[in-house]
Amino acid sequence: MNIILIGPPGAGKGTQAARLVEERNMVQLSTGDMLRAAKSSGTEMGKMVAGVMERGELVTDEIVIGLIEEQLTTADADGGFIFDGFPRTLAQADALAVSLDKVGQKLDTVVQMTVDDEALVKRITGRFTCGNCGEGYHDEFKAPAKADTCDKCGETGTFKRRADDNEDALKTRLMAYYKETSPLIGYYYAKGMLQQVDGLGSIGGVADDIAAALKKAG
């Protein structure tokens, strides 16, 4: 099954994608993660997108479409792909359909995760991850048992916050979402592919709703 998780920053797409990877052997294709990896390994492309990302603006369609195409042709995805943070524009959505077709695949469903804006700000400004294993935490909702130690891998002093998880960048990211990405909701609805889940529930509760949506689509 190939699915898109769509929703504003902080809706929980990455968290739910990670669960689907563990539970269903799916492959998560997060363009945000790919761009951050390019940035931290210092590639030319990484240097080019660093400022854009830090401000919360969108990088060009050409760059992210290239990243996705590369993964579609090389990644081994028996369990299917989860597109997380991609597509973010109508041009990206059209390109995804073409790229999937080229590799003999198709999109099965699009799950929209809805969360109100106030909750998003709270979620994003408090979140951090373990730099060693990637486990996600939150100052208020999911603090680690020991302040500087990861509950999952036990590493100390590895917690990091995203450079764009601050109020200014978040405003830009939300604006980009409403201007560029939210039209995709109508686009996929018109294609009969859209399903909605309430992203405000507990992580497990939202995961159950997503599982129900996938069952319906399968």
* Contacts to ligand AMP by CB under 6 A: 9, 31-32, 35, 52-53, 56-59, 64, 85-86, 88, 92, 164, 173
SS3 content of the chain, % helix, strand, coil (to 5): 50, 15, 35
- Catalytic residue, chosen from 39, 127, 146, 161, is 127
CB of 167 to ligand AMP, least distance (A): 14
Residue 123 is among the residues annotated as catalytic for this protein: no
Residue from 122, 142, 152, 162 carrying the catalytic annotation: 162
Q: Residue 173, exposed/middle/buried by CB under 10 A (0-12, 13-18, 19+)?
A: buried
Angle at 168 between CA 180 and CA 14, to 5 degrees: 60
Neighbours of 120 (CB within 10 A): 21
How far apart are CB 84 and ligand AMP at their closest, in Å? 7
Place of tokens 């492309």: 45
127 catalytic? Reply is yes
How far apart, in whole angstroms, are the C-alpha atoms of residue 58 and residue 48? 12
Residue 24 bears catalytic tag: no
In sequence order, the 6+-apart residues with CB closer than 8 A to the CB of 168 are 56
Q: State the residue for tokens 């979620």.
A: 123
- Nearest-CB residue to ligand AMP? 32
β-bridge partners, 83: 4, 29
Q: Which is nearer to ligand AMP, 30 or 195 (CB)?
A: 30
- The residue from 171, 173, 179, 215 that is catalytic is 173
- Tell me the closest approach of the beta carbon of residue 85 to ligand AMP, in angstroms: 3
Please identify which of the residues 19, 36, 39, 88 carries the catalytic annotation: 88
Residue 52 or 193 with smaller CB distance to ligand AMP = 52
Nearer to ligand AMP by C-beta: 60 or 73?
60
Of 52 and 185, which CB lies nearer to ligand AMP in the complex structure?
52
Active-site positions? Answer: 13, 88, 127, 162, 173
